[in-house]
């Protein structure tokens, strides 16, 4: 199975990099996992609604350029469907069982994802109604993907 996380912006904080690297290393025995970063669009602090949409559109085009047609795509979104870890694990297992060996997760930039990215999604996934920095979301997502594989393999990690 191939797992890809497409995300906007560079990760600067060492502690996030270290945490993500640890989960990626742990995943080696279960699936190939990689992170693909696309540049964020530079924008001033105060943006009009039209300018916000333009930033999301540009970032969205960059995200979509990293996704192939055959990939099953989850986009992180506050309005997405919340799941328990067990439900998420079963979903990952079912996707693999039914021929989806390439799964991509998208984490948008600070303004979220464009309508085009959301339309490309096979599913919108939410990690709750809290707003999280997208750098932290990478770590949370990496851990939850690892947890899903641990659940599916009957590991005591999940307890």
- As a whole number of angstroms, the distance between CA 8 and CA 109 comes to 5
Domain membership of residue 144 (yes or no) is: yes
pLDDT mean across residues, the chain: 94
Is the pLDDT assigned to residue 159 strictly greater than 70? no
Domain membership of residue 45 (yes or no) is: no
Q: What CATH number does residue 110 fall under?
A: 3.40.1280.10
Domain membership of residue 140 (yes or no) is: yes
> What's the pLDDT tens digit per position in 72-123?
999 999 899 999 999 999 999 999 999 999 999 999 998 999 999 999 999 9
Residues 14, 127, 102, CA angle at the centre, nearest 5°? 80
- Show the domain range for 23: 2-40+50-152
Report the pLDDT averaged over residues 61-75.
98
* Distance from chain centroid for Cα 49: 25
pLDDT value of residue 42 = 87
pLDDT value of residue 131 = 83
DSSP code string of 103-157: EEEEE-BTTB--HHHHHH-SEEEES-SS---HHHHHHHHHHHHHHHHHHHTT-GG
108 labelled ligand-binding: yes
């Amino acid at each position: 199975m191939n797992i890809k996380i497409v995300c906007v912006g560079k990760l600067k904080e060492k502690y996030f990099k270290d945490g993500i690297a640890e989960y990626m290393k742990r995943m080696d025995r279960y699936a190939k996992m990689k992170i693909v970063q696309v540049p964020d669009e530079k924008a001033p602090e105060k943006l009009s609604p039209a300018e916000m949409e333009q930033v999301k559109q540009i970032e969205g085009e960059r995200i979509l350029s990293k996704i192939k047609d055959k990939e099953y795509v989850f986009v992180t979104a506050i309005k997405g469907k919340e799941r328990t870890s067990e439900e998420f694990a079963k979903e990952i297992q079912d996707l693999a069982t039914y021929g989806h060996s390439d799964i991509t997760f998208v984490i948008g930039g600070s303004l979220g994802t464009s309508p085009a990215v959301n339309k490309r999604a096979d599913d919108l996934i939410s990690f709750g109604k809290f707003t999280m920095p997208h750098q932290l979301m990478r770590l949370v997502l990496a851990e939850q993907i690892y947890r899903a594989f641990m659940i599916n393999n009957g590991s005591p990690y999940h307890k």
